[in-house]
Amino acid sequence: MSRTLFQPITLRDLTVRNRVWVPPMCQYMVEKGDGVPTPWHLMHYGSFARGGAGAVIVEATGVTPEGRISPQDLGLWNDAQRDALGGIVDLVHSLGAAIGIQLAHAGRKASTYSEWGNGAPGTSIAVEDDGWQTVGPSATAFGDLAEPLALDEAAIDGVVEAFVASARRAVEAGMDMIEIHGAHGYLIHEFLSPLSNSRTDQYGGSAENRARLLLRIVDAVRAELPEGMPLLVRLSATDWAEGGVQIEDTVQLAGWLREHGVDMVDISSGGNSPDALIPVGPGYQTPLATAVKQGAGIPVSAVGMIDEPRQAEQITATGLADVVLVGREFLRDPSFAIRAALALNVQDAPIPAPYRRAYRQRVLAG
């Protein structure tokens, strides 16, 4: 039986074999602090393609050194990083999946220790300990993290240029699509949210002004990409906090993104307020994705505790979202997509040819 989850989806000129994709997930496995992927990344991204995912989106990748969450993050500000990412692209393509990359600037949440860094996880790395001065829309710290420097307009221009240069390198590396990270309390979200943006210039105040940085980046990156290449944006649909971004704001913003040539929005939530009350549970962010899809008329991906094949199928079958992103369940089982296809009785499950015997044997034995 053909299930909606395993029907191809086309965005611009890109057709992806199914709708169960892997969202960006930071690995903090760059060894030398140089932003260059390692064998770990090759194994990690290849395993999901081998396991049947339609597409994988490479983790948050800094457009500048200062834009990294930690020194172990990937980066894409030089050609060595581009060339190493190209090897991951080739592997994923050889396994039949598409690949995108999440371009990111961590803003006021940059320069922190990862879980396996040399300090308390999630705390700021001081400048004298090889950290760096963080930046943001305003000089307002996130929780106990170091206070950022408010970007001036020339520095904002530099951020836009850095996204464009990274997008160019992503195209050169052979990526099929680009995702701009506009969620989770990182730089772009910090501009979008009144909780972190108290500017009085053209980048602060009204919704239009707070969206200006993102829309500038979208326009400039879109102009750099081949016409047929999809552009995605990840948003935190709500800050889950009073005075922060609400779902209505995100529906309006998604409409603007559609008008500016964005092909799909990836709907996540939270990350910009340490006091947020997040009602975490199975599929908890899917209604946000549906609200954006219906309200803004743009394709959406849903993410967040979508761990079961039937749950995922129901989301695409009933039109709640166009694509389902499965994060931690793919970490637990990199063959999640194959397992889902078999559970849903899909005839042509995305099993690589050399592994088919394993599944045939199981059927015979059973």
Ligand X SMILES: Cc1cc2nc3c(=O)[nH]c(=O)nc-3n(C[C@H](O)[C@H](O)[C@H](O)COP(=O)(O)O)c2cc1C
Q: Which residues are catalytic?
A: 186
Number of residues that bind ligand X (CB under 6 A): 20
Q: Which amino acid is at 244?
A: G
Taken as a whole, the chain contains a residue count of 366
For 282-309, b where at least 16 C-beta lie within 10 A, e where not — what string? ebebbebbbbbbeebebbbbbbbbbbbb
Q: Which amino acid is at 326?
A: V
Segment near ligand X (CB under 6 A), from 8-16, 43-51, 251-259, 300-308? 300-308
In degrees, rounded to 5, the angle at the alpha carbon of residue 327 between the alpha carbons of residues 237 and 124 is: 70
CB closer to ligand X, 287 vs 352: 287
Among 229, 326, 338, 340, contact with ligand X (rule: CB under 6 A): 326
| DSSP-assigned letters across all residues of 15-46 | EES-SEEBPP------SSSS----HHHHHHHH
Count of other CB atoms within 10 angstroms of residue 276 = 18
Q: Specify the pairing of strand 231-236 against strand 135-136.
A: unpaired
9 binds ligand X (CB under 6 A): no
CA 9 to CA 4: how far, in whole Å?
A: 10
CB closer to ligand X, 150 vs 331: 331
67 binds ligand X (CB under 6 A): no
Among 26, 195, 251, 288, contact with ligand X (rule: CB under 6 A): 26
CA 300 to CA 273: how far, in whole Å?
A: 24
20 binds ligand X (CB under 6 A): no
167 binds ligand X (CB under 6 A): no
Token reading at 228: 């047929």
270 binds ligand X (CB under 6 A): no
Least gap, CB of 271 to ligand X (angstroms):
9
List the interface residues with ligand X, window 194-233 (CB under 6 A). Answer: none
162 binds ligand X (CB under 6 A): no
Q: What are the φ and ψ backbone dihedral angles of 326, each rounded to 5 degrees?
A: -120, 115
For residue 24, give the nearest of 53, 58, 69 by alpha carbon.
58
268 binds ligand X (CB under 6 A): yes
CB closer to ligand X, 324 vs 338: 324
Least gap, CB of 330 to ligand X (angstroms):
8
312 binds ligand X (CB under 6 A): no
Q: Which residue is nearest to ligand X (CB)?
A: 327
CA 153 to CA 168: how far, in whole Å?
A: 23
Contact 310, 344 (CB under 8 A): yes
Least gap, CB of 326 to ligand X (angstroms):
5
Among 165, 171, 305, 342, contact with ligand X (rule: CB under 6 A): 305
Neighbouring-strand partners of residue 56: 22, 99
89 binds ligand X (CB under 6 A): no
Least gap, CB of 364 to ligand X (angstroms):
33
Segment near ligand X (CB under 6 A), from 21-29, 76-84, 113-121, 158-166? 21-29
Among 184, 212, 222, 293, contact with ligand X (rule: CB under 6 A): 184
CB closer to ligand X, 207 vs 305: 305
Contact 286, 307 (CB under 8 A): no
**C-alpha of 10 from chain center:** 19
Segment near ligand X (CB under 6 A), from 18-26, 43-51, 133-141, 219-227? 18-26
CB closer to ligand X, 116 vs 355: 116
Site residues (vs ligand X, CB under 6 A): 23-26, 59-60, 102, 181, 183-184, 234, 268, 303-306, 326-329
